[in-house]
Structure 1
Amino acid sequence: MARFTAALKRIAPWAAQNADGAIALGLAIVVGVLGIMPDNIFGKDGDAVQDQLVSAATLVILALVATALLRDRARQAPLEETVTSGALAQLPVRLARLEEIEGLVTGTRQALDALQLVRVLGSRQEIAQAHADARKDATRWSFKGGTGTYLRAVTLPECVAAARKVKRHLTVRIEVIDPSNVEVCETYAHYRRSLSDVPDGTGETWTADRVRKESYATILAAFWHRQRYGLLDIGIGLSSTMTTFRWDLSTTRLIMTVEDPNRAMTALAGTFYYENCDTELRLSFEQARLVPLEMYKKVQLSDEPTVEEVQELFTRISIPLPRSYDDRDVVDIARKALRARNPYDA
C-alpha cells in the first residue's frame, strides 16, 4: 500500500499538469479493455452497448487530443513570435560579424604562417641544405654581399648546369664590392680580419688585395658563363659600400648569411620578409655601378682564359686591372673565377 501511495504521489503532479493527456490515456485504456471483453457481459444487448461505449469514449479521446494540440499551439505562438522578431531579425547583423571574425582569423593565421617561415639556421649542414633547396629548379637568383666567393664556387656553376640540362632560362643579378674602389676594399678586408685573423675555408686571409681580386674574379666568371650559355641573363652591379650581410634570393626562398658559418636565416617565397628583401635587392642593384655585360661578345674567353684575354676584357668594360698586377696576379684572378674553393668547407 505504501508503494502505491508513493507512486501515486509521483504521478499526481504530472497528471495535474497534463490533465487532458492523462484523461485521454485513461479512456484509451478503458476503450481497449472494453474492446476485448466478451459481448454477453452487458446482457442481451451487450454488443450494442459495448459499441456505444467505445464510440463515445473515442469521441472524448479525439476531443481531448484536439484540446491538447490547441493548447500547445497557443503556448508556442509567443515563442515563435520572439524567435521571428528577435533572433531572426538580428541574423544578418550576426552573420556580418561572423564574416568579420573569419577575416580576422584568416589574416592572423597568414601572419603567423609568415612568421613561422622566417627560420634561423644553426649549422653548416642546415645552411648548405637550404642553399641546395634554393638552387633546385631555380629560374632566377639575386645575390648581394662582399665578393661572391661562394657564388662563384657553388651557386653560379650549379645553377647554370641545372638550367642547361633542361634548356631553361636563368636570370642572375649579382652585386659585389667595386674592386676599383680601394677604400671600400680596405674597409671590407679590415672588417673580415677583425672577426678572424686565421685563413678561411679557401686557405687565405683577408687583405685589401684579396678583396679586389675576388671581386674581379666574380666579374670574369659572369662573362665566362654568359658566353657559354645563351639562355643565361646575367647582370653585375658594383657597390661603393660594404655590407655585413649576404643575401641569396632564388625563385623559392631567401637565405641571409653572416660571417658566422653556423648562423643564417631563411624565408620562403610569398612571405612578408621574402618580398621586402626582394624589393631591397632590386633597388640596391639599380643604384650600383653596372658592368656592361653586353660586351661579352667583344672578347672571347677560352675555357682556360689567358692573361691577354683577361686583361683585354677588363680594359673593354672600362674596369682596368691595376698596373701593379703582373701575370701571376691575372692568373690568380682567373683561378678564383673558374676554380674557386668553397669558403665554407670544413
Structure 2
Amino acid sequence: MHTARWLIWLRNNVDGLVALLLAFTVGVLAVVDVINDDALNEAILLVLGLLATTLLRDRHLSAKAMRDASSVRLLNGPEIGHALAMARRGTEQWVFKGGTGTYMRAVTLRECVENARREQRPLRIQIEVIDPSNEQLCKTYAQFRSSLAPETSGSIEPWTTERTRREAFATIFAACWYQQRFTFLTIDVGLSAVMTTFRWDLSSSCVIVTQDNPNTPAMLFERDKPYYRDYHRELVSSFNQTRQVELSRGLDSPLSDEPTVDQSRTLFDLLGLPLPTSFTDRDVADIVRRALQPRNPY
C-alpha cells in the first residue's frame, strides 16, 4: 500500500523532483568548480524550464479543480421551480426517478407534452416510480413522507400506504392517457422495488436533484459540465433494473377524455397491474382524478 502511494506521488511530482535534483547537482558542481560558466548557465536555463513546466501543470490542475467545483449549482426555494421550468423549455427528453411522481404528472408531464405538441416535435419520457403493487414498499415510503415535519411535507393530506399506492397508480395511468393522445410521445415507465429519498429530473439541458423537504437545497448539473453524463448513465442503469410496464398493451383499451371506472380497471388489467381487490369504485375514480386533474404539491 505504501509503495503504491509512493509511486503515485512520484508520478505526479516527477517534473518538480527532476528540477530539484538537477538544481542540487548543478549547485554542487558549481561549488567544487567542476563545470564552466557556459555549462552552468545552460543548466540554470534547463532548471528554470522544468520549474516553468511544473508551474503551468499545477495551474492547469487548479483551474480544472475550480471548474469541477463550479459544476454543481445549489438552488433554494423559488429557484428550484424556476430551474425546472427552464429545463422543460424545448427539451426533447425527460428522465425522472423518484417516489410516486406526484409533481412529475402534475407539472412536468403535462407541460413537456404541451410544449412538444405546440412545437410539433417528438418527445421521449422515462419515468421510474415505486411499485404500487408492493404494499410493504408503499408503507415504507408513506412512513418516510410522514416523518417529515408538517410544514415541509408540501401537502395537508396525510401520507398513508393507500395514498402512496394511488399516487403511483395515477402516474402510470397518466402516462397511458397522454401516450394515447400524442402520437410523437415515447414514454416508458419502470416500477422500482426500492424507494429513494431523492428526485431526479434530467432534461436535454441539465439534471436537477431535489428532495421532498423544500428547505433542502437542490443540485443542478448542466449538460456541458461534469457529472451530467454520469448521472444520465446512473438513471439508465437504475431503470433497466425496474419492472417495466408495457404501456403498449393499454392501446387496446382506448381511454376517453374523462375515463370511466370500468375503462380504468380494464386498462390496469391489460397492463398486468390489476388494482387491489380492496379498491372500490371510489378509489379508482380518485386514481383517475389524481392522474388527470393533479394538484401541484409545491
TM-score scaled by length of structure 1: 0.69
Partner of 2:230: 276
Structure-2 residue corresponding to 1:46: none
Question: Aligned with 2:296: secondary structure?
Answer: coil
Matched with 2:187 is 234
Query: Structure 1: which amino acid aligns with 2:42?
Result: G
CA distance in 1, matches of 2:105, 2:90: 18
Largest Rg, 1 or 2: 1
How far residue 216 of structure 1 moved from its aligned partner, in angstroms, is: 0.2
- How far 1:291 sits from its partner (Å)? 0.3
Which of the residues 87, 95, 111 maps onto 1:158?
Answer: 111
Opposite residue 138 of structure 2, the aligned amino acid is C
| CA shift for structure 1 position 270 | 2.9
Structure 2 counterpart of 1:340, one-letter code: P
1:115 — aligned with what? 69
Q: Given that residues 202 and 342 in structure 1 are in contact (C-alpha distance below 8 angstroms), is that contact kept between their aligned partners in structure 2?
A: no
Query: CA separation of 1:300/1:101 partners in 2, compared to 1, >3 Å: closer, same or farther?
Result: farther
2:121 maps to which of 143, 155, 168: 168
Distance 1:186 1:105, change over 3 A: same
2 CA distance for matches of 1:141 and 1:182? Answer: 28
Mapped pair 1:131 → 2:61: no
Matched, 1:329 2:283: yes
Give the residue type in structure 2 aligned to 1:135.
Answer: R
Question: Structure 2: how far apart are the matches of 1:230 and 1:122?
Answer: 37
Q: Distance in 2 between matches of 1:168 and 1:276?
A: 27
**CA displacement at 1:97 relative to structure 2:** 7.7
Shift of 1:149: 0.3
* Unmatched segments (≥5 aa) in structure 1: 1-80
Give the conservation status (yes or no) of the 8 Å contact 1:202–1:341. Answer: no
Trace 1:47-196 onto structure 2 (pairs within 5 A).
86=42, 94=49, 102=56, 105-123=59-77, 125-196=78-149
Change (3 A) 1:312 1:195: same
In structure 1, the residue corresponding to 2:202 is in which secondary structure? strand
- Matched with 1:55 is none
How many angstroms does 1:275 deviate by?
2.1
Q: How far off is 1:86 after superposition? A: 3.4
**Residues 63-108 of structure 1 deviation map (CA, whole Å, 9 limit, x = unaligned):** xxxxxxxxxxxxxxxxxx959x938x959x94x9867765654454
Partner amino acid for 1:164?
R
RMSD: 2.4
Where does residue 197 of structure 2 map in the other structure? 244
State the SS of the aligned residue for 1:227. helix
Please, which runs of 5 or more residues in structure 2 have no aligned partner?
Answer: 1-36
Offset at residue 114 of structure 1 (A)? 2.8
Q: What residue in structure 2 maps to residue 211 of structure 1?
A: 164
Equivalences, count: 260
Q: 1:326 to 1:113 in 2, by over 3 A?
A: same
Given that residues 127 and 262 in structure 1 are in contact (C-alpha distance below 8 angstroms), is that contact kept between their aligned partners in structure 2? no
Amino acid at match of 1:130: A
What is the percentage of aligned positions where both structures have the same residue? 46
